[in-house]
Amino acid sequence: MAFIKGLRFFLSLSIVCIIGILITSYPGEVKFEWLGYSVSLPIGLFIACSLVALGLLNIFINVWKWLWNLPHNYIKNLQKKRIQRANNLLIDGLSAIAAGQNQEAKEVISVACELLPENPLAQFIAAQASHATGDEEAAIRHYTLMLKDKRTNFLGLRGLIAQAKSREDYRLAQEYINKALQLRPDSPWVQEEYLSNTVYLAQKGIFPNLEKSKITKYISKPRWTRHQAILYWLKIQSNQLLSTSEKEKLHIKIFELAPDLTANVQQLVEYYLHIHAYSKAQKLLLDAFKHHPHRVLGLLWDSVFNEMEPVDRYRTMEKLIINQENHPESLISLATSAMRAQLWGQAKEHLDRLLIHGYTRTGCNLMAELMELQHPTQFDLAREWWQRASNISSDYEWQCNNCQANFSNWQPVCNRCNTIDQIHWQQTSTPQRLVSGHVDIMHIESLTK
């Protein structure tokens, strides 16, 4: 780099020297007349005067440009200072938010928004600060302004969705979600919001047209079918006027989409029992028990053969659990059926196999009841199991995987933490369960009636 600079200086100096040599080697004069005067100058002096005149002209032009641009430069400088001050306020506002001083952050950022009314970043931070302080009107105003800029359109929609959901205005939230879906249909966040919001709408009796949704190509088939099953279930539970045949079709469609939904199978089987369609009930229970064994299905199966003798009903129970012999729910169904048939040996065998999976309140209670029925005079045998059951907190119940709240039956949405499809039949470690805000002690008698 230094070599190139040196070379340029050498060439420039050479050109000047050559011009100087030419002037001295070929002297001459420049004559001209101006305003009646005749002027004669040596060629060297003429060149020098010309260079001075060009320099003065250049200085005059630069001074004129400076004076001409002075107002513009002044305004530009003020704007630069304004932006710098606003940026400093934004940084102070973010620091206040990080420190948990939301009110101070809101005041500082509001000044920054006045300095930069069109700045999308300032609007976003102001919206976040307003949301943190509970000023929903200001937050909505800032989020709405963000929709005017394509760069912040999605951020504004996300904020408006959160505001609408906080007010439980799921219909408005769905409008914003659909707009966000047009912008970024491949966003996992948008997909989750769409799925959850449609469920919340379904709880209020509003059901979207699933077939026309563009989101289907971005969500896995198992997830989408599960979502459809939940919406169909909520449609059945809603107050919409559905005929009996329409409800039956929806129940069947739910079973095809999610055969493990025991509550759906229970309602459909109860309907079949009511209309004496026992063959349909049997087929449905056999298919359902293969996918998700549950003691309720065993009770329903026993109801299908209610007119049989208890011993024969026990034999039919063996057909129900044919592919799930060692499942805890199968063993409970077999044990309770054997106890009704007074088959004490078979009941004891099934309960022993059940307790291999671990002691639970249900298992110990059933064993205590068996001891009372089989040995009515030996009170110590039953007392030992009753005492053991009272000291055990573990049992199978409907429990939310998110907040660990326990329920008496399956629900698509947890009413404690508002999560969707997180309530499953599983072993819990709590001795009591919450039912609609009240504590309800589980009684084993409901299983043996």
Nearest to 290 by CA among 265, 267, 263, 320: 320
* In contact, 357 and 335? CB cutoff 8 Å: no
Residue 130: inside a domain: yes
pLDDT of residue 270: 94
CATH number (domain holding residue 129): 1.25.40.10
pLDDT of residue 226: 92
Dihedral Cα 429, 430, 436, 441, nearest 10 deg: 120
Q: How far apart are CA 415 and CA 281, in angstroms?
A: 31
- β-partners of residue 11 are none
CA 240-243-249 angle, to 5 degrees, is 100
List, as one string, the DSSP characters of 154-212: HHHHHHHHHHHHHTT-HHHHHHHHHHHHHH-TT-HHHHHHHHHHHHHHHHTT----GGG
Residue 332: inside a domain: no
Q: Measure Cα distances from 1 to 6, 7, 10, 15, 81 in Å.
A: 9, 10, 14, 22, 37
Nearest to 389 by CA among 362, 353, 408: 362
pLDDT of residue 443: 35
Nearest to 270 by CA among 295, 297, 294: 297
pLDDT of residue 434: 36
Q: How far apart are CA 237 and CA 203, in angstroms?
A: 9
Number of domains in the chain: 1
Q: How far apart are CA 449 and CA 431, in angstroms?
A: 22
SS3 per-residue string spanning 79-124: HHHHHHHHHHHHHHHHHHHHCCCHHHHHHHHHHHHHHCCCCHHHHH
**CA quadruple 168, 400, 441, 267: dihedral sign:** positive
Residue 375: inside a domain: no
Q: How far apart are CA 414 and CA 277, in angstroms?
A: 33
Residue 376: inside a domain: no
Residue 97: inside a domain: yes
Residue 63: inside a domain: no
Q: How far apart are CA 286 and CA 257, in angstroms?
A: 17
What are the φ/ψ torsions at residue 40 (nearest 5 degrees)?
-130, 120
pTM above 0.85, yes or no: no
pLDDT of residue 213: 63
* Domain of 131, in residue numbers: 79-167
- β-partners of residue 34 are 37
Q: Within 321-436, where are the H helices?
A: 328-340, 344-356, 361-374, 379-390
Q: Measure Cα distances from 192 to 75, 344, 439 in Å.
A: 48, 52, 32
Residue 92: inside a domain: yes
Residue 429: inside a domain: no
Q: Which two tokens stand for residue 115?
A: 């300095």
pLDDT by 10s per residue, the chain, length 449: 677 877 777 787 777 677 767 666 666 777 767 677 777 777 777 777 777 888 888 888 988 888 888 888 888 887 777 777 777 777 777 677 667 776 777 777 677 777 766 677 777 777 777 777 777 888 888 788 888 888 888 988 988 998 899 888 999 999 999 999 888 888 899 999 999 999 999 988 888 776 556 677 888 889 999 999 999 999 998 877 788 999 999 999 999 999 999 999 999 999 999 999 999 999 999 999 998 999 999 999 999 998 899 999 999 998 898 888 889 999 999 999 999 999 999 999 999 999 988 888 999 999 999 999 888 888 888 899 999 888 888 888 899 999 888 888 899 999 889 899 999 998 886 544 333 333 333 333 333 33
